[in-house]
Structure 1
Amino acid sequence: MSSPLIDCSTLAARLGRDNVRVFDVRHDLARPGAGFQAYREARIPGAIFLDVETDLSGARTSTNGRHPLPARAAFRQRMVEAGVGEDDLVVAYDAQGGAMAARLWWMMRWIGHAQAAVLDGGWPAWLAQGLPVDDAPLDEQRASSGAAASPLHLNEPLVGSVSADEVAANLERPEFLVLDARAHARYLGEVEPLDPVAGHIPGALNRPHTENLAQDGRFKPAQALREEFAALLGERAPHQVVHQCGSGITACHNLLAMEHAGLTGSRLYPGSWSEWCADPLRPVA
């Protein structure tokens, strides 16, 4: 993919082809079951539901954050079960401007699969354009869209990540900038609806992921995003940027926005704030 985004009309024209797999990752962090309920009611034809809490996350402990990554091999196997092959284009959509879908896009690249994209505008844009909708009743969750034409390999990651220890070491000897994708009030510590501690990682700058979107819910043009990130990052190169949020979900939105803007090579701190603040010895700003 030359861009991490695909528009609704392009996807509609490709629906039903053997090499296109569409995934519904609608999710509400405050109401975990709401995404699947919305999927049951109506969906893009042929779309398979993936749950952010289970399919796109690993086992939680008391210290690894709210949405830790699963093992790469386990996630690859889940996508094999969903019918994804080596030559397939994986398209993710949600109803939150790509905030959830970007996680699947990043994870596909994390297992070395380059052909992945986020539906620009997601479910609201699909409906607004009057494109086909499948609202037939579902007896059970769709687990697969059929056997893949080619096996899905576990290749070298196409994206980078950092650990909590690396973020901690960076406080003493800064080598990268941490960019916080949460809302500004959460970054400031004025409110904290999800995690037990309010505040942010010392030295982190704030770029709420919602600023990547235009008023119509689609991503801003690449040039506009490039200018906005350049103003924030200054002389730092993309590889000197590490994205975080509350639990490693919406941080992927900022990472995708940078990729869309041609600023390639930034990395993700998957544990994010929920992992960072789980250790009382880690400093909080």
Structure 2
Amino acid sequence: MNLFVDKEWLLKNLHDRVRVVDCSFSLADPTKGRQEYDKNHIPGAIYFDLEKDLSGDVGEHGGRHPLPNFEEFINKLEKAGIDSTTMVIAYDQGEGAFAARFWWLLQYLGHEKVFVLDGGLRGWSEGNYPLTSEVPVLKKATFKPNINHDLLANMEEVKAVSGGQVSNTILVDSREEKRYLGLEEPIDKKAGRIPGAINKPWFEGLNAGYYKTAEVQNQRFSDINPENDVIVYCGSGVTAAPNFLALKAAGFEKVKLYLGSFSDWISYQENKIE
């Protein structure tokens, strides 16, 4: 499954009917991504902020990066000249998670012509490709969503899998091993994992911002039957997105994202932690 474009392809197609979206962000400094976009970005790129555009307001449940308000999100897509047929290329600084989050959101809205720039802005810059500080003015489009509910898992579904009421579904924890094991938890109020989950750290699917080949991804997930349903999660539904892409690239068809992830799971006092 082709989910990525390389910088050479994008350079050749910058002036065609392609929309580029800069998703650069820093969890340590939420203003950094926008500041870096204002300094330098790929020509024609529009900026989407993880917390302001790709996430909604944080509440009692839903996790630290819940689903955005889709009316507002779609309005911004339309202002960026994106309709239901536009080819969209998302990138971030090269970490992979923020562009993957945007990619997943468009897929969830039923937009299939969305891809991730492999290597991100880092790879683009290393190729000495053009950068600009100019913010494009684009003609407004009309975006008609067609929600793909099969891509999203909610807490009750995850709870049924974790509790053994649902078979043939694998829970994949995408966080680093020490958080998965509960040895360290720098962000969330509780440490540990959703019972029954296996660990596949998301960053092991990339190499310096570039996604590893489908063959390597298949090796990473070789202990998972491709016939099984797979639900990926992380701390707040952001770094699980690269694992979602990696699984899709490896040929897994039945993959869902638990978008609320561990931060949503622990917001329900009755939920068990392993």
Q: TM-score range by the shorter chain?
A: over 0.9
The 5-angstrom pairing of residues 143-222 of structure 1 reads 145-148=138-141, 151-157=142-148, 159-172=150-163, 173-175=165-167, 176-214=169-207, 216-222=208-214
Judge conservation of contact 2:226–2:253 (CA < 8 Å) in 1.
Answer: no
Instruction: Say which of 217, 223, 237 aligns to 2:227.
Output: 237
1:170 maps to a residue whose letter is V
- Counterpart-to-counterpart distance in 2, 1:177 and 1:37: 39
Cα displacement (A) at 1:72: 3.7
- Counterpart-to-counterpart distance in 2, 1:223 and 1:95: 25
Does residue 227 (structure 1) correspond to residue 216 (structure 2)? The answer is: no
Counterpart for residue 68 of structure 1: 66
Counterpart for residue 247 of structure 2: 258
CA RMSD for the aligned pairs? 1.7
- Counterpart-to-counterpart distance in 1, 2:230 and 2:210: 24
The 5-angstrom pairing of residues 1-285 of structure 1 reads 2-17=1-16, 19-135=17-133, 142=135, 145-148=138-141, 151-157=142-148, 159-172=150-163, 173-175=165-167, 176-214=169-207, 216-229=208-221, 231-233=222-224, 235=225, 237-238=227-228, 240-285=229-274
- Counterpart-to-counterpart distance in 1, 2:137 and 2:230: 36
Distance 1:155 1:124, change over 3 A: same
Instruction: Give CA-to-partner distance per residue, 1:182-236, whole Å, 9 cap, x none.
Output: 111111111111111111101011111101013x43111111112221x231x35
Cα displacement (A) at 1:146: 2.4
TM-score (norm 2): 0.94
Q: How many correspondences in the alignment?
A: 272
- Counterpart-to-counterpart distance in 1, 2:53 and 2:147: 21
- Structure 1 runs of 4+ off > 6 angstroms? none
Instruction: Give CA-to-partner distance per residue, 1:35-60, whole Å, 9 cap, x none.
Output: 11111111111111100001001121
Judge conservation of contact 2:55–2:69 (CA < 8 Å) in 1.
Answer: no
Cα displacement (A) at 1:159: 4.8
Distance 1:159 1:133, change over 3 A: farther
Judge conservation of contact 1:106–1:159 (CA < 8 Å) in 2.
Answer: no
1:9 maps to a residue whose letter is E
- Counterpart-to-counterpart distance in 2, 1:144 and 1:271: 34
- Counterpart-to-counterpart distance in 2, 1:12 and 1:97: 20
Mark the runs of 5 or more structure 1 residues left unpaired by the alignment. 137-141
TM-score (norm 1): 0.90
- Counterpart-to-counterpart distance in 2, 1:156 and 1:25: 22
Distance 1:12 1:114, change over 3 A: same
1:192 maps to a residue whose letter is E
- Counterpart-to-counterpart distance in 1, 2:223 and 2:39: 41
- Counterpart-to-counterpart distance in 2, 1:163 and 1:153: 24
Instruction: Give CA-to-partner distance per residue, 1:11-58, whole Å, 9 cap, x none.
Output: 1111122x2111111111121111111111111111111000010011
Q: Alignment identity in percent?
A: 36
Mark the runs of 5 or more structure 2 residues left unpaired by the alignment. none
